Every structure is written in C-alpha cells, then in structure tokens.
Amino acid sequence: MVLRQLAKYTAVMLALLSCGVVAPASSQVILPYVSQQNQKDFAREAARLYESALRLSQFQLYEQAIPRAVLANQLAPERSDILLLLGTLYLQNQKSDKSIETLKKAQALAPKDANVLLSLGTAFFQKGSYPQAIEQLQAGLKINPTSVPGLFDLGNAYYRSKLYPEAITTYEKSVQQKKDFWPALNNIGLISYETNNLPNAVKYWQQAIAIEKKAAEPQLALAVALYQQGKQEEAFKLGETALRNDSRYASIDYLKENLWGEKLVTHTQGFLKTPRIKAVLTLGAPEKQQNK
C-alpha cells in the first residue's frame, strides 16, 4: 500500500494549501529596475495564478495547474507556498526530480516549514532515494509529529530500507493518531508475512478489513495467507471478493509497487494460478471491456 497513499498525501498537501495552512512569505524583494507599482501588479497576478492552480488541483487537473503555478513562481519567486504547491503538483504527476528541485528551493526560503520537509521526503521516496527520504521525513516530523501521511511515508521508507522494527513502530504511531488508518495496519501485515510471522500478518489484515470492508489489498493478502494455512474455501471466497473489488491486484507489478514482499508475491502468484481464481479473472475481462 503505497501508490494510493502517495496520491492521498499529495491531495492532503493540496487541501492544506487551499485552506491557507501554508502562509505566504511576508517579505518581497524589490528589484532596482522594476517600479514598486509593477511589483504590486506582479504580486496580485501571482496570487491570482496561485489560487487558479489550487482550484485546478482540487479537481485533479494537474497538467493544467502546473503552468499556472510555474508562472506564479516566476512573478513571485520569494513565495515558498507557491514553490510548495508547484513541487506537490510535480510529485502528483510522478515527476520526482522536478519535485525535489522545486521543493529544495522552497526549503531554502522556509527551512522550518514541516509541509515542505514532508513533501520533500515523499518526493525522495517516490524517486527511490530512501535514506534522503528518511532524513527529510524525520526533520518534518520533528516539527509536526502528528502528521499521519508523514508517519506513513516514513514507515514506508523504513520498510523499503528493510528496517522492519522502525517501520512497524512508525506505522503504529500513525494508527495512534488516526484509529481507522487501515493502510498502516495492512503494511504491518506485509512486514509480518515477510518475516515469517503468519499469525501476526493474518491478525493485522483482519483488522484492516474490519475498518475498510471493501479494501482489496488486505483481502487478497489475507486470502493468500489463509490458502497457505490450508483454509482453501475461505481463501477462495475472500480472494474472489478482493479481485472483484479491484482487479489491479492481479498484477504482480502492481503488488510490488505497493510494497508486497518477495515471499508474499511468490505465494500470490501461485494463488492466482489456481483454476478458481483464474476463472474469476477470466470472467471479469468481458465486464471490464463493456465498462470502457
């Protein structure tokens, strides 16, 4: 569980920006060859473009929002909130290098802004630079220790770095802040499975499903675990439900992108090849075509 949470994290950041949580810088640099009136005009136009980019981002129109945020930054390069918005938009568009470059500029202007640090950590995670991700996320969480997206991303970065105890502790902290945050419970299950603690994995996936009954990821993971325990009928029913809820989890590449470990992926491949599960996937194909 990482793709959806990265999207959710950037959505949260955009929502915070739209609510004015990230305050614009109060100082302005007056260039000697530009009149003060022109500076005021630039500032007003930058604010208008910033608000327009925010509105577009709320409708997930990121491609249209980015040029407005770029121009707003050109008109008001001293505003860290504009750079934060632009970096978050790049992050949403899977442009991690541009996101990191932009967020570093925001960090130079606002080194104590937790939102900038957490976004930068998420961008490093997206790039696969996990030590840098951990460093930035830890710095952001020192300022805002209750950030659920920040804690979750830090847990994911620890997980990718195979620092399993640190990952579990951090996931648990995110659940302490948000009791129904099932993705963290799901990921503790993933770690438990990879470290050969099958009963613990089952327990956490059951907890995740109890919170979000239509969550395909813990459903399929639990189905695979039950199948390994020899509980075939229960496993098949749950696996069928999971794949009907979200057939993307039949893709091994998608599972790996969502942090499924080698052991669980191998067992899932076997489960997906069983005649009963293959029948579900085959029957689902025509339906998917009709819905296009």
Domain boundaries defined on the chain: 179-292
pLDDT at residue 18 in the model: 57
pTM equals 0.85
Q: Is the pLDDT of residue 29 over 70?
A: no
- What's the rounded mean pLDDT across residues 100-114? 98
- For residue 216, the Cα-to-chain-centroid distance in whole angstroms is 17
Question: Closest Cα partner for 18 from 51, 43, 41?
Answer: 51
Q: Is the pLDDT of residue 250 over 90?
A: yes
- What's the rounded mean pLDDT across residues 99-124? 98
**What mean pLDDT is reported for the chain?**
90
Q: Is the pLDDT of residue 27 over 60?
A: no
* Cβ–Cβ < 8 Å for 184, 155: yes
- Lowest model confidence (mean pLDDT) among 19-23, 36-40, 150-154: 19-23
pLDDT at residue 39 in the model: 84
- What's the rounded mean pLDDT across residues 262-274? 98
pLDDT at residue 7 in the model: 57
Half-sphere exposure of 269 (CA within 13 A, CB side): 10
Q: Is the pLDDT of residue 22 over 70?
A: no
Distance between CA atoms of residues 157 and 131, nearest Å: 8
Distance between CA atoms of residues 136 and 114, nearest Å: 9
pLDDT at residue 21 in the model: 43
* Cβ–Cβ < 8 Å for 16, 22: yes
Rounded to a whole number, what is the distance in angstroms from the first to the last CA of the chain? 26
pLDDT > 70 fraction of the chain, expressed in percent and rounded: 85
- CATH code given to domain 179-292: 1.25.40.10
Sign of CA dihedral 27, 132, 208, 11: positive
| Amino acid letter, 190 | L
Tokens 């399929």 sit on residue = 220
Rounded to the nearest 10°, the torsion over CA 10, 11, 14, 20 is: -120
pLDDT at residue 23 in the model: 38
pLDDT at residue 36 in the model: 66
- What's the rounded mean pLDDT across residues 260-265? 98
Sign of CA dihedral 52, 96, 14, 60: positive
pLDDT at residue 260 in the model: 98
Question: Closest Cα partner for 160 from 248, 251, 261?
Answer: 261
